[in-house]
Amino acid sequence: MKTRIAIQGVKASFHEEAAYKYFGEDIETVECESFKKTCDMLKQGKADYVVMAIENSIAGSILPNYNLLRDYRFHIVGEVHLNIQQNLLALPGTKLSDIKFVESHPIAIRQCDEFLIDHPEWTIKEGMDTAACAKGIVENQLKNTAAIASALAAKIYGLEILERRIETNKKNATRFLILSNELVEHKNANKASLSFQTGNAVGALANVLQCFAEQNVNLSKIQSMPVVGKRNEYDFYVDVEWKKQGDYDAAIRKVLKHTINFTIMGEYIKNEKV
């Protein structure tokens, strides 16, 4: 039986590309219309893993997904980086002058803002997913509509690429997390995702960060999210990297003394950007 990977979006979405990159091609992708649905699939045992985008080098952190990580408490067992190349796709034979509407995911639209500014005559419409917008053009035979999506989406749905590489920043990359209901131990783990709260005292967060620095543990990301219903209280999400396991273990022991609700969300092997 093939490993089942829940993805937000449809076939040829960037989430499916990320799943293939991490797990290989011999998998079954479970298409979901929302990130919450991917989590429900994993919780119900209808998927073995979730591939979830967490940050983009242009658009930044995908904040609602931090809430899902908090609510579902899955284990982060890996990560994968994907270079995102956006293209303008339309039905075969369509010219740029025929286009009246452009559809894509809101983040993909933001990634292509400089290209879109040059076409003020187009109406921009936000969709659920890049590949779903491409699929919709084919299903509804929309001759006046283009989608912003991957070259793979063009290939799978039989669309023509009118303009290639329309993303503003050519070093556009998205980081995806691999989530599991089961704890997967990596003997060579060198990265961890942690969450915690601190007291309101002056320097409370600085004290925590100092614990990592003293042990040569690198802080590669920090994200704060308000604690729901509690004023001036925040959950902190941090990613840390280390070269020596002993340094990381010592840092965790120190950090525990300065935090509340401390959680190791996952320890895994760092994925280098490609």
42: in domain: yes
Both 70 and 128 in one domain: the answer is no
**DSSP annotation of 85:** -
Both 71 and 107 in one domain: the answer is no
Residue appearing with tokens 């499916």: 16
pLDDT the model gives residue 163: 98
Both 196 and 237 in one domain: the answer is yes
> Distance between CA atoms of 156 and 131, rounded to whole angstroms?
10
124: in domain: yes
122: in domain: yes
Non-local (6+) Cβ contacts of 168 within 8 A are: 58, 111, 112, 113, 114, 115
Positive or negative, the CA dihedral 217, 219, 225, 226 is positive
3-state secondary structure of 236: strand
Strand order in the sheet with 218-226: 218-226, 234-241, 191-197, 260-268
CATH number of the domain to which 8 belongs? 3.40.190.10
Roughly how many angstroms between the first and final C-alpha of the chain, as a whole number?
30
CATH number of the domain to which 252 belongs? 3.30.70.260
Count of all residues that appear for the chain in the document: 274
168: in domain: no
pLDDT the model gives residue 98: 97
Both 102 and 74 in one domain: the answer is no
Blockwise average pLDDT, block size 10, the chain, 274 residues: 96 96 97 97 98 91 94 97 96 97 95 96 95 97 97 96 96 95 92 94 93 97 91 93 98 96 97 72
186: in domain: no
**Of 180, 206, 227, which residue sits at a domain end?**
180
Q: How far is CA 23 from the centre of its chain?
A: 16
| Residue 128, domain extent | 87-163
118: in domain: yes
185: in domain: no
Look at phi and psi of residue 216 and say left if phi exceeds 0, alpha if psi is from -120 to 50, else beta.
left
100: in domain: yes
